[in-house]
Structure 1
Amino acid sequence: IRPAAARLLYAGPARKPAAERELDAEHAELDVLLEHSDVVSLHAPGGAATRDLIGAAELERMPAHAVLVNTARGTLINPVALAEALHSGALGAAGLDVYPAEPEVPAVLLDAPRCVLLPHIGSATQTARDAMAELAARNVLAVLDGEEPPARVA
């Protein structure tokens, strides 16, 4: 992704100098990113540290025309705060394919305006599942052979 006449901001616990150079991206604190972004796409792990990363206070910082996209983890956004922001017009739109207790979609979002809700099925094709199984097997074989696995996670 390269921004076309736009700034590409990212937030996170650590700067990514290579990505900054390659994508012409700028590291920013989350509140600054939210205040200056027309589109915010979340790409963060789940867990206690990121639960409700986006709540009422964060949504209030976003421009009223902004779009919030979450395809990462359902616990990153407080669904009640999101629904309230959409109903009040404080947020332009949202698109989600992850939810706090999948596969259940929070009831407060079902009638929220300008909110696209989809199932998280990006890897549900046979081709994708076969590729994931093959990669997992290659990882195991590499470790057993004393080599670096091709897709090391940690």
Structure 2
Amino acid sequence: MSGVRAARSDDVPALIRLVHELADYEKAPEECGLTDDQLHAALFGDDPVAGALVATDTGGEVAGVAIWFRTFSTWEGVAGMHLEDLYVSPAHRGAGHGRRLLAALAAECTRRGWARLEWNVLDWNTPAIGFYRSIGAGPNEGWTTFRLTGAALADLAGRSA
């Protein structure tokens, strides 16, 4: 039977495959260097920094994944959830896996008393944007995501000494 469940350590190879498929879909495969060891440590290590849910098909195969981490809102004074990756393999799209994954994340936020579930989407990904709007989500108008990585990150870190 298909459904959604918490990821298990034996799911890591399937999750790695899905994350790399997502990188290909987002036209950035060379930017994705995630390894089994890294993901295992992030999800199941001594100090987990992320959580993951998987959607399974009727045969129990991992069809999709939602990888998330906890955030905090100073204005609301409570935690929230940032969805880092939501991906359903092309062969399994249209079966409701994405909606079930998001519903399970929303239920987890509600259960924990968290204020929000948020994520980013590429501007050109109109199928995803349409899907997100269909479930009642909308863009965070007026905000632009900034990122500091690589040499710029190291350079700024060196200035703090």
- TM above 0.5, one fold? no
Structure with greater contact order relative to length (CA < 8 Å, sep ≥ 6):
2
TM-score (normalizing by structure 1) = 0.33
Give the structure with higher Rg (CA).
1
TM-score (norm 2): 0.32
**Which structure shows the higher strand fraction?**
2
